[in-house]
Structure 1
């Protein structure tokens, strides 16, 4: 079944796939995404890739480097991003079961909370509210920056027997911070970015074409490392992920506005060659159950898997990376989408509209795909 489909990866700053740009998978060139909330660059790498754009490299030098070679990692989503200060001060809600604390030391990028920024209300009814306002003004709380997957309609009837067991494996073995409900009407699985990303580098990191583009390990530049250690964040990725599960750790870490961070999400668990999920002691053929857009049609013309970087408190979206599978017969020789694939893409957009993730007013702006959706890659910003 997998041989009938071709992968296409796009990225954008919202759920409207008309606003997405084509990602040149396994190329060292980054895709730049920008909106009012963030400036970001991404590299997507996939082992044994045989998708769009046509003639894409089947692999990246990234996978021959450690720890990826030893891990047998199958894909990587590397992101360099700079959160922007909101135009208007917004209140962020404290995480369930915890309240942001006003700490005297530096946040995770070196600035101090000793002096409240001028946007903070002069009077707060409680110390907790003042701390909450400080967090919102300085940046995004470690509680609130989330990364994960979501869907626009129920998938519970499409989940395989034993899926709950697979989820237990994921939460126990891979990401204990993961939370969500795959059986909900609008399923989601999000985790705090602070514990979900395999690598977090505080600072601008490096772009090295010989290593596949954006390449960085756990850590930071000199200022970033100093700031991490000042709040007790461990140097190693394994220890940081464990440390980040505690509420007081997420209290201390703030992804500051106008500061740059590099994150990398990679693992050996999704094999895009045969579209299977391979967990310790459990293998699932994705194509048999993968969420599809063909819910309204008799034939499934495409399937999608969406990764989202978002704000839990404000529900705002910073970045979306979308893996779409199209029937090969629906793709032109130049890599552009035929009418059937365009219609499937539009159906996916309409599901997002119905789910409230796209404003109804934007629906009539277009129904196809971006102009740079063919083989040629255009390095463009999404405004």
Structure 2
């Protein structure tokens, strides 16, 4: 059933998709997001990508770099982040324990989780990120980790942006001032040792993401495959299409059993203490029949996106006063989506990419029953 869907990536400052921009996956140019709390630049790369916008590059030079080539990494979320004091003052910052990165949902997924999920989570925590914390069985499930121990690469400073290497290239370390700041709090020079060091409460307390200073992060691994939508862990493979997102719920909280026309996986950069969001990245699957040939969304996909937004609003992640109302809102949203696609499509035409992905598809799941 995975071959019936096509993926689209968007990013914005909050959970409201109407405030998001379509991310040109595998393009070297960054998507920029700015709020009173911080400035963000973003690159998303996915190996063997066959999603939206149409004619997106299927790969990036990034995957030919080490350590990604040897590790066979499948995706990367690279971030350049400058936290700001919302009050406009100088000094202060975000503690190492408060800046979190991870996933959350607006509705329960416990009834969708497969047998052995707890075992899989233990593998993730042991093998990938011991700092992860969350509750997949809660009414609003989440899985966050302190960025200090979760990010595979952390650079204190502006870092490097090189189109020939795929855009943002984050190497562990920092500029001269950044290296000095790292060593002042006892942070090790290597990524592996820094991630281990960051698990200690004392380390998270000593580290501060200073307002006005720029930091670069890269989150990558070879375990999540966006082409067949599977999580491949050592000794354990989970076909996530079935568990990607829960079914819509009725007013009494019970599943409606109607098949969803979209499924969303959400990554969030947030502040644990204040609940402020700095960046929200959505990986959304749409039925291919709900997407026009030019990559824009048909009414059915727009309706599914609106339903997802309403769930986020009901969970309190979106203000009830956010956005317009009624036909004015729908008209404005459709216009914005069309503008996004037109801009992205022109971008890829400038790159000289001509291969069409209209008929491209991720490999189907082994069993159609893996998708509800």
| Preserved contact between residue 244 and residue 263 of structure 2 (Cα < 8 Å) | yes
Residues 160 and 375 (structure 1 numbering): CA distance in 2 closer, same or farther, change over 3 Å?
Answer: farther
2:271 and 2:144 map into 1 onto residues whose CA distance is 11
2:221 and 2:28 map into 1 onto residues whose CA distance is 19
Alpha-carbon shift at residue 373 of structure 1 (Å): 3.1
The equivalent of 1:37 in structure 2 is 37
The equivalent of 2:61 in structure 1 is 61
Alpha-carbon shift at residue 352 of structure 1 (Å): 0.5
Alpha-carbon shift at residue 299 of structure 1 (Å): 2.8
The equivalent of 2:343 in structure 1 is 376
| Preserved contact between residue 231 and residue 240 of structure 2 (Cα < 8 Å) | yes
Deviations 1:253-278 (A, max 9, x none): 10000110000000001111111000
2:240 aligned to 277, 286, 310, which one?
Answer: 286
The equivalent of 1:359 in structure 2 is 319
The equivalent of 1:301 in structure 2 is 261
2:204 and 2:233 map into 1 onto residues whose CA distance is 28
1:200 and 1:293 map into 2 onto residues whose CA distance is 36
2:197 aligned to 238, 243, 248, which one?
Answer: 243
Alpha-carbon shift at residue 295 of structure 1 (Å): 4.7
| Preserved contact between residue 158 and residue 289 of structure 1 (Cα < 8 Å) | yes
The answer to whether 1:216 aligns with 2:163 is no
The equivalent of 2:5 in structure 1 is 5
1:197 aligned to 128, 133, 151, which one?
Answer: 151
| Preserved contact between residue 134 and residue 143 of structure 2 (Cα < 8 Å) | yes
1:69 and 1:295 map into 2 onto residues whose CA distance is 42
After TM superposition, the runs of 4+ consecutive aligned structure 1 residues lying more than 6 A away are: none
1:196 and 1:333 map into 2 onto residues whose CA distance is 38
Deviations 1:102-131 (A, max 9, x none): xxxxxxxxxxxxxxx7xxxxxxxxxxxxxx
Q: TM-score by structure 1 length? A: 0.84
Aligned length: 333
The answer to whether 1:187 aligns with 2:141 is yes
The equivalent of 1:312 in structure 2 is 272
Alpha-carbon shift at residue 293 of structure 1 (Å): 6.2
Q: TM-score by structure 2 length? A: 0.87
1:231 aligned to 160, 185, 198, which one?
Answer: 185
1:352 and 1:293 map into 2 onto residues whose CA distance is 14
Alpha-carbon shift at residue 376 of structure 1 (Å): 2.5
2:217 and 2:188 map into 1 onto residues whose CA distance is 16
The equivalent of 1:167 in structure 2 is 121
Deviations 1:330-368 (A, max 9, x none): 001111100000000000000001100111111535243
1:184 and 1:55 map into 2 onto residues whose CA distance is 39
1:181 and 1:16 map into 2 onto residues whose CA distance is 23
Deviations 1:216-265 (A, max 9, x none): 21000011011111111000000000000001101111000011000000
2:11 and 2:170 map into 1 onto residues whose CA distance is 21
1:223 and 1:187 map into 2 onto residues whose CA distance is 39
Deviations 1:146-169 (A, max 9, x none): 000000000000111100000000
Residues 283 and 34 (structure 1 numbering): CA distance in 2 closer, same or farther, change over 3 Å?
Answer: same
| Preserved contact between residue 44 and residue 78 of structure 1 (Cα < 8 Å) | yes
Q: Secondary structure at the match of 2:227?
A: coil
Which ranges of structure 2 fall in alignment gaps of 5 or more residues? Answer: 251-255, 348-372
The equivalent of 1:113 in structure 2 is none
